Chain A
Amino acid sequence: MLDVQKIRADFPILHQSVNGKPLVYLDNGATSQKPRAVINSLVHYYERDNSNVHRGLHALSMRATDAYEGARARLAKFINAADSAEIIFTRGTTESINIVARSWGHAHLKPGDVVLTTEIEHHSNLIPWQQAARVSGATLKYVPVLGADAEGGLDLAALDQLLTPKVKVFAFTHISNTLGTINPIAEFCRRARAVGAITVIDAAQSIGHAPFDVQALGADFVSFSGHKMCGPTGIGVLYGRRALLDKLAPDETGGGMVSNVTYEDARWKPAPERFEAGTPNIADAIALGVACDYLDAIGRDQIAAHDAALSRYAMEQLSTLPGIRIIGPRVGAERSGLASFSFADVHAHDIVTFADEDGVALRGGHHCNQPLMRKLGLTGTTRASFYLYNTEGEIDVLVASLHRTLKFFGTT
């Protein structure tokens, strides 16, 4: 059991009023809040160590380089990568996936190949593959999601049909940001390997919420963002298996990623520098390492259990609301720490505006998942997403707010 009150004391932002009510922050799927240790790390870096990395021979540059490379090693440990050279710092999940889709896609995809992804991907793991398929002439296919409310998860029987030796890459999310569905990613990796396809995992929603072991999975590429795991915005990771990274051409070129340059040509450094052209986001990388320390001191297995308990409680409470349509796994089924729902007569944006009046931060809209919304016959849903500092009491505040909103619109 998490000591939630102790954890809440670590997050300065939570202790404020919004519209005269105590803030109830339930928009963690969009971004998480930051513990004081992460904030202090940023201040410390800029007040004490700020310098460019890998270039200077002076004390500050060496301190900055040590801290930056230390963060890389910390991230490697966080996902159990075999080698810290497999950790490439990026701006976030979107940039990470784009690097793979462009660099790997450009080198390997050709007409007749199949790029396989799923119907429940965030736009960031969908559009880069649309583009890669368009440029290469490969065919893009989707593993369908089952059920009128997408409650059945991905269609594993269809996956049998779709996952042929023509598939060169299988890109899928670990946890759906819209549905809360937890995909069987170990099975996906195993089955992709069996047909010789590489795997690209979007771990944005899961990485700060549950243990993640790239070696146990046998994953080829994994992408995630720092800001959803208690770290800063503007920093994220692309994990790539060393054997693949060594053969991969850079997506961007410039300073810091070259070993030898002439007027005619340039030679690349090995990974990870090959993929980090220009001055990297040093301060935020270091702070992300601190976020790893913070989460691991609490225990990601504990956080996962806390998320699951809150999710279960939220589903039980929400399902008592008249006219609610819950999207994703049914009440009682396994789901991540989020609830996504709609009402026939009250639009998500009206709900979010009313909840905000009660101090509750929610997300309303299509959640960067427009094709899925269309498939479900929705323009959007309201989403409440939980993290380690949320409580059952906050879910009660949410449900009371929803009751008031429904009453106002005359649907109850």
Chain B
Amino acid sequence: MSADLTELYQQVILDHNKRPRNRGKLPTANRVAHGDNPTCGDQCSVYLRLEPSTSGTPARIAEISFDGSGCAISQASASLMTTQVKGKTAPEVEALYKNFHDIVTTGNAPEEISDLAAFAGVHAFPARIKCATLGWHAAIEALKAEPHETTTESHTD
């Protein structure tokens, strides 16, 4: 196996692919968004419960889950994303995504970013960048989405 491929399929990624965290629908969710990668048919839905703040600070993600199907990179990235954004506000998530985007497009990972750095190997495979960012896009969309009273309806589109 080449160094590039070993770098792409890091142990962290394989682990999240095999044992995804926060996978499935979230019955308590009040925000949901769906991401599609039309070139490969990968799909990712992100469910989150946004908890409004009482003190005037931005709302925070109290709970999050994802669902969908796709390659190891997209599934692991969505799984890892859910563990990273829990407890964060929308601006914090967007800032984190910017870091992540830099990592997957340049391959340079700042030292303070631990697990997300596992995706640095993606930069050597430009066609896979969209796989790595699919879950993040869905999460950011979900943060912008209209509040849902009930989120049990399925997203089949």
User: Which A residues are closer than 8 A to B by beta carbons?
Assistant: 19-20, 346-350, 353-354, 357, 364-366, 370, 373, 379-380, 408-410
- As a 0/1 sequence over residues 1 to 37 of chain B, the CB contacts with chain A under 8 angstroms (1 = contact) are 1100100110000100010000000000000000000
Q: Chain A: which residue is nearest B70 at the CB level?
A: A347
Are B1 and A349 in contact, with the CB atoms below 8 A?
Answer: no
Please judge, given known A-B contacts A357-B2, A379-B43, A380-B40, whether A349 and B9 are in contact too, CB under 8 Å: no
Are A349 and B40 in contact, with the CB atoms below 8 A?
Answer: yes
Are B41 and A379 in contact, with the CB atoms below 8 A?
Answer: yes
Are A366 and B128 in contact, with the CB atoms below 8 A?
Answer: no
How large, as a class, is the contact surface on chain B? Answer: 20 to 34
Please judge, given known A-B contacts A19-B2, A354-B5, A357-B2, whether A348 and B39 are in contact too, CB under 8 Å: no
Return 21 A-B CB contacts under 8 Å, by A number.
A347-B71, A347-B72, A348-B40, A349-B42, A349-B71, A349-B73, A350-B72, A353-B5, A353-B125, A353-B128, A354-B5, A357-B1, A365-B39, A370-B41, A373-B41, A379-B70, A380-B41, A408-B9, A409-B14, A409-B72, A410-B18
Are B40 and A364 in contact, with the CB atoms below 8 A?
Answer: yes
Are B5 and A350 in contact, with the CB atoms below 8 A?
Answer: no
Tell me the interface secondary structure of chain A in the complex.
mixed
Q: Does B64 contact A (CB under 8 A)?
A: no
Q: Does B120 contact A (CB under 8 A)?
A: no
Query: Which residues from chain B contact A353 at a C-beta distance below 8 Å?
Result: 5, 8, 125, 128
User: Which B residues are closer than 8 A to A by beta carbons?
Assistant: 1-2, 5, 8-9, 14, 18, 39-43, 69-73, 75, 125, 128, 131
Rounded to whole angstroms, the CA-CA distance of A346 and B9 in the bound complex is 13
Query: Which residues from chain A contact B71 at a C-beta distance below 8 Å?
Result: 347-350
Query: Which residues from chain B contact A408 at a C-beta distance below 8 Å?
Result: 1, 9
Residue among A350, A370, A408 with most chain B CB within 10 A? A350
Query: Which residues from chain A contact B43 at a C-beta distance below 8 Å?
Result: 379
Are A350 and B73 in contact, with the CB atoms below 8 A?
Answer: yes
B155–chain A nearest beta-carbon distance, Å:
13
Are B40 and A366 in contact, with the CB atoms below 8 A?
Answer: yes
Query: Which residues from chain B contact A354 at a C-beta distance below 8 Å?
Result: 5
Rounded to whole angstroms, the CA-CA distance of A349 and B131 in the bound complex is 9
